[in-house]
Chain A
Amino acid sequence: MKTLMKGNEAIAEAAIRAGCEAYFGYPITPQTEVLEYMSRRMPDLGRVFVQAESELGAINMVYGAACTGARVMTTTSSPGFSLMQEGISYIALSFVPCVVVNIMRGGPGLGNIQPSQGDYFQMTKGGGHGDYNLIALAPATVQEAVDLVVEAFDLAEKYTQPVMVIADGMVGQIMEPVAFPEMQEIRRATFPWALTGAKDRPHNIITSLFLNANQLEEENLRLQRIIAAIRANEVRYAEYMMEGAEIVVVAYGTAGRIVQTAVKQARAQGIPVGLFRPISVFPYPYAALDKVANTTRQFLVVELNAGQMLEDVRLATRDRVPISFFGKMGGLVPLPEEVLAEIKKLA
């Protein structure tokens, strides 16, 4: 059975179904409905909800709870995500799991509250200080957001790392019919690293401080091994009308969804065009896109930013095939017709 639901509320319900034990958040448009939904549902279920004093507070509450092995999440939007970078960097080298959802809005600075993909670099290239990359999953629809949020909790625990869900204001605000998975009860997995009280074992320490350079390098190498495993195992992407596509449009999230409509319209007009839509923007589907470059003559990258994923497309295809870019900033979202016009220029 499907329920008609706003993206943000669906993301909240998805986390609850995934057994999220505690939620810590701070109001910021366009993600605030997640916070509001959690403030109603979590206490009802006997779970933890705290409205933090800031995004710094929220991510560190997440950090604290995660250290004890709890399934825990926070959600925010771009300026708040910047504030969380400090905590996320610490969590990455602490090797504890959590889920962070960024409902991106227009930037830089205070920007505005319209949909954007301006945080792509921050979400996929580390974001905070130090060497790390985190799984970043980019849903294009509310249903996909639900599925990826549920999956994010499992991935976080599998890799003992924060997992990012990178959605834009459109995914957060749009209403669509969605199906939810079965409710998972809260269960505390027995992680050997978790701070559960030093009973019948030596005390556990969770820290990201390693004053000895050799030891810090070892911890970094451990992190890089995890990232290598993520690159090897967690690549996700979708293809649409790729058969015989001479022109391939690369887009993710809401941009990917708009492109899908444009591709359908273009195909109806006999233009051989397809859509390649990365779902994991980290790890990026480099190999798959590289393969696509063997059979296409032209790429078009469409983003709600100045061309951030564009760099990954160039990296994947090593500039063997010409790449055009069509982007909107300032929270503007292109119409399918505008994308179609761009495709026609290349046909």
Chain B
Amino acid sequence: MTEEVELVFSRPKSLADVVTSYCPGCIHGITHRLVADVMDELGIRERTIGIAPVGCSVLAYYFFECDFAEAPHGRAPAMATGMKRTNPDKVIFTYQGDGDLASIGTNELIHAAARGENITIFFINNAVYGMTGGQMAPTTLPGMVTTSSPYGRDVKTQGYPVRVAELVSQLDGAAYIVRRTAYNPAEVRKLRKAIKTAFQVQMAGLGFSLVEVVSNCPTNWGMAPKESLKFVEERMIAYYPLGDYKVKDEVKALK
């Protein structure tokens, strides 16, 4: 007697069958999977070009099965601009962390958004420089201890965190700017939907889209994965509220 077996869950075709360089429990892995999954669903893998940043996801080009370039630190939105302007039929996305996007790359980010470049940015905000060993980032919370703010971030001398989604949403060129997270299954589902919308915004030619993912860093936060997710839920979200910061009317009309 044979039984019909239906495959209901598998690795997305857009995700390479390799071991990633991410730490156990890190939201990078979830976000990678979701981006790849959405690329599969939209059928865009063969015409998508990704751009990796400098940071933990510097090797992202090994983890996705689409064409990829590796940008100088912070410059991914400028590279994406050059790619998209010369290849309007391609889907161009950058994948950047907070040090890359919110510190050294703010100029490239702000102006790509202001020009309304028809590109998509996935922004992973885990409040530290992960790859270099957990230094203070522009997004480090006030009072947070890092390897370069050993007494806790003192806003009097080390300034205040940068809220990227709020900042970028002020620009007229921005079409779709949202903040999501992935600390539980419900939030993962919302994140997946936002990733899909962001790609669709670009495919419809509606302009600049950015999904900020409030993320964790168990390794550099010195926490167990579960504990780090709790920190995201309780502390990170308090400073970086989830929500839709800019959704142009044309985007709302997308179905």
> A63 touches which one: B61, B64, B79 (CB < 8 A)?
B79
CB distance from A216 to the nearest CB of B (A): 13
B47 / chain A contacts, CB cutoff of 8 Å: 197, 199
Q: Are A203 and B79 in contact (CB under 8 A)?
A: no
Known contacts A198-B45, A209-B58; A68/B83 CB under 8 A: yes
> A203 touches which one: B64, B71, B75 (CB < 8 A)?
B64
Q: Is B200 interfacial (CB-CB < 8 Å)? A: no
A196 / chain B contacts, CB cutoff of 8 Å: 67, 87
Known contacts A64-B81, A65-B83; A56/B67 CB under 8 A: no
- Which residues from 43 to 84 on chain A have a C-beta closer than 8 Å to any C-beta of chain B? 48, 50, 52-54, 56-58, 60-68, 70, 72
A205 / chain B contacts, CB cutoff of 8 Å: 61-62, 67-70
Q: Are B70 and A61 in contact (CB under 8 A)?
A: no
Docked pose: A316 CA to B167 CA in angstroms: 56
> B82 touches which one: A22, A54, A56, A209 (CB < 8 A)?
A22
Which residue of chain B has the shortest Cβ distance to A22 in the bound complex?
B86
Q: Is A157 interfacial (CB-CB < 8 Å)? A: no
B115 / chain A contacts, CB cutoff of 8 Å: 50
A224 / chain B contacts, CB cutoff of 8 Å: none
Q: Are A197 and B75 in contact (CB under 8 A)?
A: no
The interface size of chain B toward A, counting residues with CB under 8 Å, comes to 36
How would you classify the secondary structure of chain A's contact residues: helix, strand, loop or mixed? Answer: mixed
Q: Is B111 interfacial (CB-CB < 8 Å)? A: yes
Q: Are B69 and A195 in contact (CB under 8 A)?
A: yes
A3 / chain B contacts, CB cutoff of 8 Å: none
Q: Is A151 interfacial (CB-CB < 8 Å)? A: no
Q: Is B90 interfacial (CB-CB < 8 Å)? A: yes
Q: Are A48 and B86 in contact (CB under 8 A)?
A: yes
B52 / chain A contacts, CB cutoff of 8 Å: 207
Q: Are B72 and A64 in contact (CB under 8 A)?
A: no
Q: Is A33 interfacial (CB-CB < 8 Å)? A: no
- Which residues from 12 to 66 on chain A have a C-beta closer than 8 Å to any C-beta of chain B? 21-22, 24, 48, 50, 52-54, 56-58, 60-66
> A65 touches which one: B46, B67, B86 (CB < 8 A)?
B86
Known contacts A56-B108, A197-B49; A203/B81 CB under 8 A: no
Q: Is B107 interfacial (CB-CB < 8 Å)? A: yes
Q: Are A61 and B67 in contact (CB under 8 A)?
A: no
Q: Is B80 interfacial (CB-CB < 8 Å)? A: yes
- Which residues from 309 to 336 on chain A have a C-beta closer than 8 Å to any C-beta of chain B? none
Docked pose: A50 CA to B111 CA in angstroms: 12
Q: Is B65 interfacial (CB-CB < 8 Å)? A: yes
Q: Are A70 and B107 in contact (CB under 8 A)?
A: no
CB distance from B82 to the nearest CB of A (A): 3
A64 / chain B contacts, CB cutoff of 8 Å: 51, 69, 78-83, 86
Q: Is A295 interfacial (CB-CB < 8 Å)? A: no
> A67 touches which one: B48, B66, B83, B110 (CB < 8 A)?
B83
Docked pose: A199 CA to B115 CA in angstroms: 30
Which residue of chain A has the shortest Cβ distance to B58 in the bound complex?
A209
Q: Are A195 and B111 in contact (CB under 8 A)?
A: no
- Which residues from 52 to 66 on chain B have a C-beta closer than 8 Å to any C-beta of chain A? 52, 58-59, 61-62, 64-66
A66 / chain B contacts, CB cutoff of 8 Å: 82
Give 1 or 0 for each of A74-102: 1 = CB within 8 Å of chain B CB.
Answer: 00000000000011001000100000000
Q: Are A68 and B68 in contact (CB under 8 A)?
A: no
B226 / chain A contacts, CB cutoff of 8 Å: none
Which residue of chain A has the shortest Cβ distance to B59 in the bound complex?
A209
Known contacts A22-B85, A68-B87, A197-B90; A61/B69 CB under 8 A: no
> B78 touches which one: A48, A60, A68, A195 (CB < 8 A)?
A60
Q: Are B108 and A195 in contact (CB under 8 A)?
A: no
Docked pose: A94 CA to B69 CA in angstroms: 9
Which of B64, B79, B115 has the largest number of chain A CB atoms within 10 A?
A: B79
In the assembled complex, 17 residue pairs joining A and B whose CB atoms fall closer than 8 Å, in A order, are A21-B86, A53-B107, A60-B72, A63-B75, A63-B78, A63-B79, A64-B80, A64-B81, A70-B87, A87-B72, A195-B49, A197-B90, A198-B45, A199-B46, A203-B68, A204-B67, A208-B70
Other 4 A-B pairs with CB < 8 A, given A22-B82, A48-B85, A198-B67: A22-B86, A57-B81, A63-B75, A70-B87
